Chains A and B, each alone.
Chain A
Amino acid sequence: MAVSAEKRATREGYGAALKELATKNPNVVALSADLAESTGVLKLAAVAPERFFQMGIAEANMVDVAAGMATCGKIPFASTFAIFGTGRAWESFRNSVCYPALNVKLACTHSGLSVGEDGASHQALEDIAVMRAIPNVTVVVPADYAAAHAATIAVAEQRGPVYLRLGRPKIPAVYEDGKAPMTLGKGNVLREGNDVAILACGPLVSMAVDAAKLLEKDGRQATVIDMHTIKPLDEKLLLDVARRCRCVVTAEEHNIVGGLGGAVSEALSQHLPTPLERVGTRDTFGESGTHADLWKKYGLTPDAIAAAARKAMERK
């Protein structure tokens, strides 16, 4: 079976997996804050209505309620848009969930610029940064539908706090359905090359693959890694490819401050200083527009990744 040509959203993969979990694991429960349909948790509600809890527009309360449920053995998946789940409810997640390492999964959709028309107020571009700064948390950013499905199953099996970052738009598939490798904390090598290493997460993974094809036309070979787990970062893999390629590019739908680019710079500057170019929003807020228009305007495209790779290679 080949990789599906159909575009699907990571939030759809989450909803489908949650529905499966509902029948497999009686402890899985889902909560939402008046966004049950668009986050995908309605899929669970359809098969296990007694395990879905509508909390209304009250995100901080939702995350604390989830923490309370986790102390009683439940595995709560709490879902809203990334801006509200990691913004308004950040401190609930930090103190109530992460401090005692409770088994709560904060699964947020509509992250990044690709929220689109709703505009800057709704576009979380700082969430990876603020979430990964919390001790005890695992931060996962799946690359496509299949990866989001696999990540949902994986985080349910791993005990402890998780931030799962999902998106709104339908994006190209990177993996075959049911075949996305998802060992938390282990990046997936999608392509090998010795000239530059591109580490991407979320919707930028398929763009990084396309960027590698563009570079190939220049006679350059890129390693492309799906760095789906931002925390704990796969430092071993990062240092291996940095040593081999001697320059690195990160690509994410997030501010270049504090996200995957931030995590990679921290690791490289400590262990193996290496030229690094970061693709992401350049410390600016977003705006309204279609996700395609916004990705183009803010430089989240295969071309922009390839340009960053050329710059990184020049700096070797």
Chain B
Amino acid sequence: MTKLDTQLKETLQSKAREIRVDIVKMLTKAQSGHPGGSLGMTDVFVSLYFGGLVKHDAKRPDWAERDRVVLSNGHICPVLYACLGHAGYFPKEWFDGLRMVNSHLQGHPAMHKTPGVEACTGSLGHGFAMAVGMALAMRADKRDSHVFALLGDGECQEGLIWEAAMSAAHYKLDNLTAIVDRNDAQIDGRTSDVMSLEPFADKWKGFGWHVIEIDGHDYDAIFAAVNEAKVTRGKPGVIIARTVMGKGVSYMEAEGYKWHGKAPSAEQGEKALKELLAST
């Protein structure tokens, strides 16, 4: 695997810290929402939005040639909002209104309310199927744009996910890459206890997908996987990214799934910010 340039890696790491800080601030202010997955997927999101893996332009959110990022596990939208705010899609002041009445930033992504959001998600399963539709439409129009669909592992228990997976392989959608947040956590417990998905990679292979398994906090691996998925011809690619729920905040990492959908208290928020700011 080719290693990333040290300077780029440092830039990404520092951006990831800023994003995590804003996630914690947003959720502590909102006093509801989903920190675990948001923090867990931060390294992947930072690579996509700030590492040049996604073709996008914050000044033209409706640019027809842009790549599409569809957050099918919509509940982790704080990480998406933080990235979009940092990228310049909207003022960072919007973070303060997360989940409050009359806000631009809804509890789950709404494409008609927030620039840069590509689909209305939150009800699990739909985003992935919409991503298939986008990939089909862009191929029909011969556009050189790629579709990234972000999924949760618990979300993959939905039948709809496998209907979408089947159709993507049937149509040989090599302009579609799924990235699954494989943190073995969902609301009621560990995914392996609630409803086992294993053999997970084999399921995707059986559905005709090119499968890449990585550590979702390793920037070298994230870049290599995305590039491999993009150049693979004739089939869609899925990156199974093993992540740690609540990554970067020790007490969340320790309690795993309990931080799926619970906001930190003011005191816990302080503690999290201290840890994040002290990290390098």
Contact = CB atoms under 8 A, between A and B. Distances in A.
A288 interface: yes
Interface string A272-292: 000000000000000111100
Contact of A288 (B106, B125, B157, B188): B106
A254 interface: no
Interface in B93-143: 98-103, 105-108, 110, 120-125
Nearest to B33: A117
A58 B195 contact: yes
A194 interface: no
A117 B99 contact: yes
B30 interface: yes
A3 B113 CA distance: 43
A68 to B, nearest CB: 16
Contacts of B74: 121
B110 A119 contact: yes
Contacts of B187: 34-35, 37-38
Interface of A is mostly: helix
A58 B157 contact: yes
B122 A57 contact: no
A34 B189 CA distance: 8
Interface in A254-304: 287-290, 293-294, 297
Nearest to B120: A121
A57 B126 CA distance: 13
Contact of A56 (B30, B125, B157): B157
Residue in B33, B98, B123, B188 with the greatest tally of chain A CB atoms within 10 Å: B188
Interface string A103-130: 0000000000000111111100000000
Contacts of B159: 58, 60-61
B8 interface: no
Residue in A32, A34, A55 with the greatest tally of chain B CB atoms within 10 Å: A34
Nearest to B155: A57
Interface residues of B, number: 32
Given A117-B33, A119-B110, A121-B74, A290 B101 contact: yes
B32 interface: yes
Contacts of A83: 123
Contact of B186 (A38, A57, A121, A288): A57
Contact of B154 (A37, A57, A60, A122): A57
A296 to B, nearest CB: 9
Residue in A88, A119, A120 with the greatest tally of chain B CB atoms within 10 Å: A119
A121 B123 contact: yes
B100 A289 contact: yes
Given A55-B195, A57-B195, A293 B122 contact: no
Contact of A122 (B98, B102, B107, B155): B107
B106 A287 contact: yes
Given A118-B108, A119-B107, A56 B154 contact: yes
Interface of B: 30, 32-33, 74, 98-103, 105-108, 110, 120-125, 154-155, 157-160, 186-188, 194-195
23 contacts: A32-B188, A35-B188, A54-B188, A56-B194, A57-B157, A58-B195, A61-B159, A83-B123, A88-B125, A116-B32, A118-B32, A119-B99, A119-B122, A120-B110, A121-B74, A122-B107, A122-B122, A288-B98, A288-B101, A288-B106, A289-B100, A290-B100, A297-B102
Given A34-B154, A34-B195, 13 more contacts: A34-B194, A54-B188, A54-B194, A54-B195, A57-B195, A58-B195, A87-B123, A117-B100, A119-B106, A122-B107, A288-B100, A288-B107, A293-B100
